[in-house]
Amino acid sequence: MSDSRLQQALADKPQVWGGWITGPTFLGPDEFAHAGYDYVGFDIQHGYLDDADVAQVLRRMEHLPIATAVRLPSAAAAAPIGRVLDAGADAIIVAMVDRPEQAAEAIAATRYAPTGIRSFGPLRASLGIDPAALADRVNVFAMIETAAGLDAVDEICAVPGLAGVYVGPADLAISLGDEVVKAASRPKVRDAIVRVQQAAAAAGIVAGIHAGDGITGKELAALGFQLITLAPESQALRRGAIAHLAEAQGRA
């Protein structure tokens, strides 16, 4: 089996740009794909969908030219991680990782015995049935979004098998006692973000982040981030709807 779409994009481009899905819809991924985004992330932690919903959408996305990632609230439950991987997810993003042991737990959930605890149950024929190849195509990202995670970022980045770290600026801002609005632009949070990127670079892994908009995404790319989520489907829809209404009313 060849590399996943996400692995190919990360190997070929200085930055890969992502959209974000919070509801059980195929329309969002389809539009992000045709708009030229590199990947789409599905949010099980804060979205209105669960791992079974995501697995169904992923199964339908097989022929869309876009990579896929799934954010999960933790690595404590291995079954949801296995289900979305069986359906073809290229990566998992595990929230609230404060310690290297949690990152190792997430990696174990994506690997089969004897190195992991993933149960064998492929849902997509095109992925094949070679356990080693199925495990190798998966990227695991640990979210750094707390003061504790920031303190342990070097140890987390050093966990074997970790593909990268992914910053959640809003939760990181809260944990650091700062404001959530425009979190990535606030000095204290920006310093923390830079620290995470530098730790990832030193460890030779990918630095990812939630940007929230294109302008912030461009700034974060300049800081060295490679995997950058720009906007959720709701924000993209709202922005387009506002523009259409403004044009119709002569306010463009």
Distance (Å, whole) CA 53 – CA 60: 11
Please tell me whether the peptide bond between 160 and the residue prior to it is cis, using omega within 30 degrees of 0: no
Distance (Å, whole) CA 179 – CA 41: 25
Contact 47, 28 (CB under 8 A): no
| Cα end-to-end span (Å), the chain | 49
Active site residues: 46
Token digits of residue 163: 């593909």
Length of the chain: 252
Residue 99: half-sphere exposure toward Cβ, Cα within 13 Å: 4
Distances in whole angstroms, Cα of residue 111 to Cα of each of 34, 96, 116, 157: 32, 21, 4, 18
